[in-house]
Amino acid sequence: MADPLAQSLAAGTPSAFAELYDRFAARLVKTARRMDCHPAATEDIVHDLFVAMARSRANFENVDNLDAYVFTALRHAVARHQQRRRLEHAARSRAAENAIQRDDRATDSPPSANESLAHALASLPPEQREAVGLKIDGGLTFAEIGAVTGISPNTAASRYRYALEKLRILLIDSFVNE
Amino acid sequence: MKSIPRELMAVERLLEQQAPDGPSVALRSRTLDAMLNVLPIDSLPEQQSLSTDSCMPAALDAASALSLLGMALSLAWVGVGWLSFHGHPSPASIRPPATLQAQARAFGMEPGYPFLALDVAASDTPAARSDGKGPAPCPPILAPYWFHHGLQGNN
């Protein structure tokens, strides 16, 4: 059964888009930050995503699961952003990158708990990090994660579980020891 | 689907506790403004067509028609008043009372009807009483009763 909000969005009702923002913005920003690990860019990604959805609002007419639709759009937006960023990195000279990395290492201080978690998350395979973001920050079910990423719910659950196991290996021991 | 083992639930709780920050307050107004700027491309012309193509022109037409009619009536009123006040040929002379009386009789009306007051008044003027000799004063025609008698009273 179609979401009533989706019908209002398809009709172009302005209040429906305000409701859409209030319902999804926080979850989208948090999920994008978890997936992308670049906090500065996430608000722009989410902003552009909402504007794109308003522009192509006719697509809402056939949406049954609004959560799955919106997070699928977020996933594509994050993927486009990451691809653009990879191209920008590739454009830099290797010598310049090496210099920046040397400077970073020189100024590095011991990571905080938050930074440890961020580094641990960054070390996960992208699909596992994505499963964590969609489950924890997006609040999606495994069925919805499967719909968003184009995999079965069982595969989505497995990715999530593998991610947690890997994080536990990286983090739990250190936290327990503290 | 298997449930998450207890040792992994601790990691899950840690992730929930250290969730990334949400959106800034400014993002809401920025995004809503941008979305509303996108929406009117299709939705506003429909609203404008309702207001400008049908409602507003109709209202303007009605208002302009009424104002034009009012202007025409007031001009006619002033013109007739001016004519009657400056001794121009009265309608009584243009249309003889006999003709009006004949028309009234043809319609089966009695001379006491209000519109026949014109003829009665014309025949009751000094000019009529003096058999048409001398200057014909302005009969109290087509001007309001109070207007004519008021002027006479002031004189």
Q: What is the dihedral angle through the alpha carbons of A42, A48, A54, A57, rounded to the nearest 10 degrees?
A: -90
Burial class (CB in 10 A: 0-12, 13-18, 19+), A131: buried
- For B104, residues 6+ apart whose C-beta sits below 8 A from its C-beta are B110, B111, B113, B116
* Distance in angstroms (rounded) separating the CA atoms of residues B83 and A165: 107
What the block records as the tokens of B62 is 């009605």
Work out the percent of chain A whose per-residue pLDDT is above 70.
82
pLDDT in tens, A103-121: 555 555 656 667 778 888 8
- pLDDT for position A175: 59
CA angle, A41 as apex, A38 and A46 as ends, to 5°? Answer: 120
- Least confident range of A22-26, A59-63, B124-128: B124-128
Is the CB of B7 less than 8 angstroms away from the CB of A172? yes
* Distance in angstroms (rounded) separating the CA atoms of residues A175 and A169: 11
Contacts of B43 in chain A (CB under 8 A): 12
Q: Sketch the domain layout of chain A as residue ranges.
A: 1-108, 111-178
Residue B28 lies in a domain: no
CATH class of A1-108: mainly alpha
Residue B93 lies in a domain: yes
Is the CB of A136 less than 8 angstroms away from the CB of B19? yes
Tell me yes or no: is domain A111-178 CATH 1.20.1600.10: no
Is the CB of A153 less than 8 angstroms away from the CB of B39? no
Q: Cα dihedral sign for A34, A35, A41, A44?
A: negative
N-term to C-term CA, chain B: 111
76-105 in chain A: CB under 8 A from chain B: none
pLDDT in tens, B40-99: 655 544 444 444 444 445 555 667 778 888 888 888 888 777 776 665 555 555 555 566
Give me the number of domains chain B comprises.
Answer: 1
Q: Give Cα B101 to chain centroid, integer Å.
A: 38
Range of the domain at B108: 87-155
What the block records as the tokens of A105 is 């290492």
* Distance in angstroms (rounded) separating the CA atoms of residues A152 and B15: 24
Residue B1 lies in a domain: no
pLDDT in tens, A122-177: 889 999 999 999 999 999 999 999 999 999 999 999 999 999 999 988 876 665 55
Half-sphere exposure of A28 (CA within 13 A, CB side): 32
Residue B120 lies in a domain: yes
- pLDDT for position B146: 58
Contacts of A12 in chain B (CB under 8 A): 39, 42-43
Contacts of A142 in chain B (CB under 8 A): 1
HEC sequence for B32-90: HHHHHHHCHHHHHHHHHHHHHHHHHHHHHHHHHHHHHHHHHHHHHHHHHHHHHHCCCCC
- pLDDT for position B150: 59
pLDDT in tens, A28-49: 999 999 887 677 789 999 999 9
Q: pTM score, two decimals?
A: 0.58
Asked if A10 is an interface residue toward chain B (Cβ–Cβ < 8 A), one would say no
- For B80, residues 6+ apart whose C-beta sits below 8 A from its C-beta are B142, B143
Q: pLDDT class for A95, splitting at 50, 70, 90?
A: low
N-term to C-term CA, chain A: 50
What the block records as the tokens of A5 is 């909000």
As a whole number, mean pLDDT of residues B95-118 equals 58
Q: pLDDT class for B139, splitting at 50, 70, 90?
A: low
Helix (H) or strand (E) holding A160: helix A153-167
What the block records as the tokens of B92 is 């009584």
- pLDDT for position A66: 94
Residue B152 lies in a domain: yes
Residue B42 lies in a domain: no
